[in-house]
Structure 1
Amino acid sequence: MRLETLHNSLEQRWANCLPEGHMDILSPAVSLSPDRTGVSLDSLDKLSVIHVAGTKGKGSTCAFCESLLRHHGYKTGFYSSPHLVAVRERIRINGQPLSQQDFTRHFWPVHDALHESKEHEGDMPPYFKFLTVMAFNVFLAEEVDVAIVEVGIGGEYDCTNILRQVNIVGITSLGLDHTSLLGTTVEEIAWQKAGIMKPGAVAFSVDQQPEGALKVLKERAVEKHCPLLVAPPLDSYDWGQHPLELGVSSQGQLLNASLALQLANTWMLLQSRSESLLQTSRLTSFRPPKEFFLPEKNKSHKFVETAQPFSITRRLALGLKQCSWPGRTQVIHKDNLLYFLDGAHTLESMELCSQWFIAASYGSSLKRVLLFNSTGDRQSSELLSPLLDCDFHYVLFCPNIVTPQVNLASDQANCRVTQQQMMLRCLTNEKTWRELRAERQGPMSSQTLLQMSCVFEALTYLTDKSREDTCRYHLLVTGSLHLVGSVLSVIDPELSHQGLATIGDLAPQLSDTVTS
Structure 2
Amino acid sequence: MNTKPRSFEELENVFASLASAGIRPGLDRISRLMEKLGNPQMDFPAVHIVGTNGKGSTASFSDSILREAGYRTALYTSPHLESPDERLLIDGFPLSLGEWTGAAEAIQKALEEDDFLRSDPPTFFELITAAAFLLCSRNRVELAVVEAGLGGRLDATNLLGNVVLTLVTSISMDHMDFLGDTLEKIAGEKFAVMREGIPAFFSGSPAGLVPLFRERARAAGALPHVLPEEVRTENISVTAEGTAFSFFCGGGRFPIRTPLHGSFQVENCSLAAAGMLCLSGRFPRITGEALLQGAENARWPGRFEILRADPPLVLDGGHNPDGIRRLVESIRGIYGGKKPTVVFACMKDKDFPAGLSLLLKGAGRLICTSVPGNPRSADPFVLAEAARRSGWKEDAVEVFPDPLDALKASERKGQGTVCCGSLYFIGWMRTLILSRREELLF
TM-score, with length taken from structure 2: 0.82
Counterpart among 430, 435, 442 of residue 488 in structure 1 = 430
**Secondary structure of the corresponding residue to residue 201 of structure 2:** strand
Counterpart among 329, 344, 355 of residue 318 in structure 2 = 344
Q: Deviations over 1:122-154 (max 9, x none)?
A: 443221000000010010011011011111111
Deviation at residue 29 of structure 1 after TM alignment? 3.6
Q: Deviations over 1:232-277 (max 9, x none)?
A: 233451798964312212111111111101222222321349xxxx
**Is 1:378 the equivalent of 2:353?**
no
**Secondary structure of the corresponding residue to residue 330 of structure 2:** helix
How far apart, CA to CA, are the structure 1 residues paired with 2:168 and 2:435?
31
Could you say which residue in structure 2 is the equivalent of 1:437? 391
Calculate percent identity across the aligned residue pairs.
26
**Secondary structure of the corresponding residue to residue 315 of structure 1:** helix
| Paired letter, 2:370 | P
After TM superposition, the structure 1 = structure 2 runs for residues 170-189 of structure 1, keeping only pairs within 5 Å, are: 170-189=167-186
**Secondary structure of the corresponding residue to residue 318 of structure 2:** coil
Q: Deviations over 1:39-80 (max 9, x none)?
A: 22xx42231010010011111111110011011111110111
Could you say which residue in structure 1 is the equivalent of 2:366? 395
How far apart, CA to CA, are the structure 2 residues paired with 1:333 and 1:429?
27
Residues 149 and 155 in structure 2, CA contact (< 8 A), matched pair in contact too: yes
**Is 1:254 the equivalent of 2:251?**
no
Could you say which residue in structure 1 is the equivalent of 2:32? 33
Could you say which residue in structure 1 is the equivalent of 2:241? none
**Secondary structure of the corresponding residue to residue 104 of structure 2:** helix
After superposition, the Cα gap between the structure-2 partners of 1:384 and 1:462, relative to the gap in structure 1 and judged at 3 Å, is closer
After superposition, the Cα gap between the structure-2 partners of 1:173 and 1:434, relative to the gap in structure 1 and judged at 3 Å, is same
Deviation at residue 343 of structure 1 after TM alignment? 0.8
Residues 234 and 255 in structure 1, CA contact (< 8 A), matched pair in contact too: no
After superposition, the Cα gap between the structure-2 partners of 1:171 and 1:376, relative to the gap in structure 1 and judged at 3 Å, is farther
Deviation at residue 31 of structure 1 after TM alignment? 3.9
Greater Cα radius of gyration, structure 1 or 2: 1
TM-score, with length taken from structure 1: 0.71
**Is 1:234 the equivalent of 2:233?**
yes
Could you say which residue in structure 2 is the equivalent of 1:368? 340
Q: Deviations over 1:198-245 (max 9, x none)?
A: 11211011134331x222111111111111111223345179896431
After superposition, the Cα gap between the structure-2 partners of 1:144 and 1:234, relative to the gap in structure 1 and judged at 3 Å, is farther
Residues 320 and 352 in structure 2, CA contact (< 8 A), matched pair in contact too: no
**Secondary structure of the corresponding residue to residue 69 of structure 2:** coil
| Paired letter, 2:190 | K
Residues 179 and 377 in structure 1, CA contact (< 8 A), matched pair in contact too: no
Could you say which residue in structure 2 is the equivalent of 1:45? 42
After superposition, the Cα gap between the structure-2 partners of 1:164 and 1:494, relative to the gap in structure 1 and judged at 3 Å, is farther
After TM superposition, the structure 1 = structure 2 runs for residues 283-294 of structure 1, keeping only pairs within 5 Å, are: none
After TM superposition, the structure 1 = structure 2 runs for residues 40-439 of structure 1, keeping only pairs within 5 Å, are: 40=39, 43-119=40-116, 121-211=118-208, 213-231=209-227, 232-235=231-234, 236-237=247-248, 243-272=255-284, 313-333=288-308, 338-361=312-335, 368-392=340-364, 394-401=365-372, 406=373, 414=374, 417=376, 422=377, 424=379, 426-437=380-391
**Secondary structure of the corresponding residue to residue 248 of structure 1:** coil
Deviation at residue 347 of structure 1 after TM alignment? 2.0
Gaps of 5+ in 2: 1-23, 235-246
Residues 29 and 162 in structure 1, CA contact (< 8 A), matched pair in contact too: no
How far apart, CA to CA, are the structure 1 residues paired with 2:149 and 2:388?
34
**Secondary structure of the corresponding residue to residue 358 of structure 2:** helix
After superposition, the Cα gap between the structure-2 partners of 1:475 and 1:58, relative to the gap in structure 1 and judged at 3 Å, is same
How far apart, CA to CA, are the structure 1 residues paired with 2:289 and 2:180?
42
Residues 318 and 421 in structure 2, CA contact (< 8 A), matched pair in contact too: yes
Could you say which residue in structure 2 is the equivalent of 1:474? 416
How far apart, CA to CA, are the structure 1 residues paired with 2:273 and 2:34?
34
How far apart, CA to CA, are the structure 1 residues paired with 2:55 and 2:159?
19
Residues 64 and 323 in structure 1, CA contact (< 8 A), matched pair in contact too: yes
After superposition, the Cα gap between the structure-2 partners of 1:44 and 1:367, relative to the gap in structure 1 and judged at 3 Å, is closer
Q: Deviations over 1:341-399 (max 9, x none)?
A: 11112222211201212333469xx882211123253222211122112242x421112
**Secondary structure of the corresponding residue to residue 199 of structure 1:** coil
How far apart, CA to CA, are the structure 2 residues paired with 1:390 and 1:26?
36
Deviation at residue 81 of structure 1 after TM alignment? 0.8
**Secondary structure of the corresponding residue to residue 61 of structure 2:** helix
Q: Deviations over 1:158-209 (max 9, x none)?
A: 1111123312111111111111111121111111001111112110111343
**Secondary structure of the corresponding residue to residue 298 of structure 2:** coil
| Paired letter, 1:454 | D
Choose between structure 1 and 2: higher strand proportion. Answer: 2
Number of matched pairs: 401
How far apart, CA to CA, are the structure 2 residues paired with 1:152 and 1:242?
31
